[in-house]
Chain A
């Protein structure tokens, strides 16, 4: 069964810690994902993305000179981006709420807190392949729909508080 569905998949790991890169590569390999490229920061990853197709990105958050948030924003929003829709799993020890929100607002697809377990990593990848999310484009955001929960019993067209005020004052 190993490898089913993953034979041709290309993954990219963006992580400044060599040990973590090795671990992530080993986990992806164990699931049958054999084509794995590595970059040590967001800048190097952007270069790699342009040179080589990637179907899945695992990215750390804190890296220099370009961190995972800026990398994600560039992937989503740069005109030169080779694949603005590529799934990005942000893997980080920075689990404070404001950082999770920043990652979500940058356009990550999934967030995975360290310490990593195989179960948690595979659960995120399963979520991406089984339930791909719609993308949203608006004035200040492009990325996966940040509303994770569908309200099946909701009949109205609006859900945001300010959706009720369609016309906004501009001074």
Chain B
């Protein structure tokens, strides 16, 4: 048996490496980022993107619905949708896509087979939410909550959660 002395980590202080900006500029930049003027501009910039994002999400939803036999593709499309549905104002769509992704990710991690019916149910709910979300947010919330509960039960049955 040999012994080795544990090396101490080298700590490099912020002043000892190149910073993103000088300290005076950093203070000004922080003020800029916290300003109401910038918040308004950012909000306007986001709102300008919403029509294009919604159109893209509907495109992903169609691809998701066509991909049902291919679970890798289902995950990829659901992941794209959860990525920016909520930013585009499709809150329920994003929530259900997130529920589906978490379910698929957890089952993959514990090496258990997916319940294809549950996946199909989520895919169907994502499609309906994306196409009708503006009109019935309350119903969408109920559907998302029910699906989350169902997924939680399936994960518990599979020994996860």
**Which residue numbers of A lie inside 8 Å of B, CB to CB?**
1-6, 9, 17, 19-20, 22-23, 26-27, 29-32, 55-56, 62, 83, 85, 87, 92-94, 96, 98, 114-119, 122-123, 125-126, 128-130, 132-139, 141, 145, 162, 165-171
Q: Is the CB of A168 within 8 A of B45?
A: no
Q: With A23-B46, A31-B32 as known contacts, state yes or no: A9 contacts B2, CB within 8 Å.
A: no
Asked if B32 and A2 make an inter-chain contact with CB atoms under 8 angstroms apart, the answer reads yes
- Cβ < 8 Å to A, chain B residues 40-99: 41-46, 48-49, 52-53, 56, 79-80, 82-87, 94, 98
Flag if A138 contacts B18 (CB, 8 Å): no
* Complex interface residues of chain B between 1 and 16 (CB less than 8 A to chain A): 1-7, 9-14
Given contacts A9-B21, A118-B42, contact A129 B30 (CB under 8 A): yes
Residues in B with CB closer than 8 Å to A136 are: 9-12
A-B contact count (CB 8 A): 172
**Smallest Cβ-Cβ distance to A125: which chain B residue:** B33
State the Cβ distance, A4 to closest chain B Cβ, in Å. 4
Excluding A5-B25, A171-B2, 15 further A-B contacts by CB distance (< 8 Å) are A5-B32, A22-B52, A23-B45, A23-B46, A23-B84, A27-B42, A30-B42, A30-B45, A32-B38, A55-B21, A114-B83, A114-B87, A115-B83, A115-B84, A132-B20
| Alpha-carbon distance between A132 and B52 when the two chains are bound, in angstroms | 36
Interface size class of B (residues with CB under 8 A): 35 or more
**What are 21 A-B interface contacts by the 8 Å CB criterion?**
A22-B52, A27-B46, A30-B41, A31-B33, A55-B20, A56-B20, A87-B20, A92-B83, A93-B82, A115-B82, A115-B87, A116-B87, A126-B34, A132-B14, A133-B14, A135-B12, A136-B9, A136-B11, A136-B12, A141-B9, A168-B3
In the assembled complex, the CB of B61 is this many whole angstroms from the nearest CB of chain A, namely 14
Chain B residues closer than 8 Å to A98, beta-carbon distance = 109
- Chain B nearest Cβ from A76, distance in angstroms: 12
Least Cβ distance of B121 to chain A in Å?
Answer: 21
